[in-house]
């Protein structure tokens, strides 16, 4: 799907596209290859943050089944995302708009919630 057909699909005419904010124009121009890399990078970031919190708590001496499971799940998510980035095919990647943006906005929100814990 090219940019003009995507713009028509979401109801943005070429004339009004010039008046859109930059981030909206970027959102209109995502294709399957870019979505592939953005999706799996976001999944790797989520896994890293998820595992880091659990591993740091385990290193401090607090061990429990949920922490151990969380650290294993986070590391597994990072490894699976990296594996898929290197061996997967962007042309075979299919995900709906809602699922894609749910993952991207979820990772951004998750990172924003982690900032107070880092300070």
List the pLDDT tens digit at each of the 119 positions of the chain. Answer: 444 554 444 454 555 555 545 555 555 555 667 888 999 999 999 999 889 888 888 888 888 888 889 899 999 999 999 999 999 888 888 888 888 889 999 999 988 887 776 65
Under a CB-based contact definition with an 8 Å cutoff, are residues 78 and 48 in contact? yes
Whole-number Å distance between alpha carbons of 71 and 58? 9
28: tokens are 């209109």
What confidence score (pLDDT) does residue 15 get?
52
Q: 3-class DSSP state for residue 116?
A: helix
Structure tokens at 68: 């151990």
The token duo for 18 is: 């010039």
């Amino acid at each position: 799907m090219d940019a003009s057909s995507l713009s028509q699909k979401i109801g943005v005419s070429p004339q009004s596209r010039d008046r859109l904010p930059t981030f909206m124009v970027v959102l209109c121009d995502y294709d399957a290859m870019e979505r592939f890399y953005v999706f799996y990078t976001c999944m790797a970031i989520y896994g890293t943050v998820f595992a880091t919190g659990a591993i740091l708590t385990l290193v401090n001496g607090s061990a429990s089944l949920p922490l151990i499971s969380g650290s294993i799940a986070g590391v597994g998510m990072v490894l699976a995302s990296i594996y898929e980035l290197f061996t997967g095919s962007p042309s075979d990647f299919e995900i709906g708009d809602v699922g894609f943006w749910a993952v991207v906005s979820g990772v951004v929100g998750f990172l924003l919630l982690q900032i107070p814990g880092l300070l």
